[in-house]
């Protein structure tokens, strides 16, 4: 299987598949198909309850599409629902990812939800994050550009809570308030994620909630 991420920052992934190879993707992620590719819509391999959790709490679809090539050199185009980069993460350990960031994956990789609770805080506006199970290549979508940072053992990093795309399980993290009450009220920085290495952090350069706040004054007013 070969793939190429093209047209970032409004990107898509173009796969070239040999006979028998397959790709699993979120519902509505497909852009185009060329060649004999079967689309098999099914529940997630993680099982009914975990699929239900991912749909209800993780912002992901209950069903996924598996695209199976029935001849060599078929091509498949997938995209995400965010206005920004698509990035590939080579998963060889567990990752937690922001709800809605997952686009698709190669075989051997499935998703589960991970309860964050109020002891670790809230990433973005979600109480649930998604967690990878197994190994393979995972494709994620973010707002703006996606940047990865590797943290050495003991190295610390503070990240705005809306900027996280994915975080390897080898890193330790906690969500906390940033700065003083004045900073929270007037500085635009309320909750942050304090991350301690070793681990890999994938972050997005744009904040969706700030984008929403920026366009609200220009939306039509209801009478």
* Contact by Cβ (8 Å): 131, 166: no
Q: What percent of the chain has pLDDT over 70?
A: 78
The DSSP result for 34-102, as a single string, is: ESSEEEEEEE-TT-HHHHHHHHHTSS--SEEEEEEESSTTEEEEE--SSSB-EEEEEESS-EEE-TT-E
Query: Is 165 part of any domain?
Result: yes
Question: Residue 83 maps to which CATH number?
Answer: 3.60.160.10
Residues 165-185 as b/e (b if ≥16 CB within 10 A, e otherwise) read bbbbeebebebeebeeeeeee
* Contact by Cβ (8 Å): 124, 98: yes
CA dist 84 and 67 (Å) reads 24
Query: Is 55 part of any domain?
Result: yes
pLDDT digits (tens, 9 = 90+) for 8-60: 888 899 999 999 999 999 888 999 999 999 999 876 554 444 544 444 443 44
* Contact by Cβ (8 Å): 76, 15: yes
pLDDT digits (tens, 9 = 90+) for 79-95: 988 889 999 999 999 99
What pTM was estimated for this model as a whole? 0.78
pLDDT digits (tens, 9 = 90+) for 134-161: 999 999 999 999 999 999 999 999 988 7
pLDDT digits (tens, 9 = 90+) for 154-194: 999 998 878 899 999 999 988 877 554 444 433 444 678 89
Closest Cα partner for 197 from 166, 152, 165, 163? 152
Query: Is 211 part of any domain?
Result: yes
Query: What domain count does the chain have?
Result: 1
Query: Is 223 part of any domain?
Result: no
211-to-106, 160, 183, 188, 219 alpha-carbon distances in Å: 32, 15, 20, 13, 13
Q: In which domain, by residue range, is 174 found?
A: 2-218
32 forms bridges with which residues in the sheet?
A: 77
């Amino acid at each position: 299987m070969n793939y190429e991420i093209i047209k970032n920052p409004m990107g898509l992934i173009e796969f070239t598949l040999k006979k028998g190879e397959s790709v699993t993707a979120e519902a509505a992620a497909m852009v185009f198909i060329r060649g004999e590719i079967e689309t098999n819509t099914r529940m997630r391999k993680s099982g009914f309850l975990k699929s239900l959790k991912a749909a209800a709490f993780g912002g992901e679809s209950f069903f996924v599409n598996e695209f199976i090539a029935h001849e060599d050199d078929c091509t498949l185009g997938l995209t995400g629902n965010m206005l920004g980069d698509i990035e590939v993460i080579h998963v060889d350990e567990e990752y937690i990812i922001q709800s809605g960031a997952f686009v698709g994956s190669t075989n051997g990789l499935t998703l589960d939800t991970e309860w964050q609770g109020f002891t670790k805080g809230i990433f973005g506006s979600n109480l649930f994050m998604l967690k990878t199970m197994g190994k393979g290549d995972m494709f994620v979508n973010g707002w703006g550009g996606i940047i990865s940072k590797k943290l050495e053992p003991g190295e610390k990093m503070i990240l705005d809570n809306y900027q996280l795309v994915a975080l390897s399980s080898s890193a330790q993290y906690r969500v906390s308030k940033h700065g003083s009450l004045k900073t929270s009220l007037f500085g635009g920085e309320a909750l942050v994620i304090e991350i301690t290495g070793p681990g890999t952090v994938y972050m997005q350069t744009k904040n969706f909630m700030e984008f929403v706040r920026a366009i609200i004054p220009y939306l039509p007013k209801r009478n």
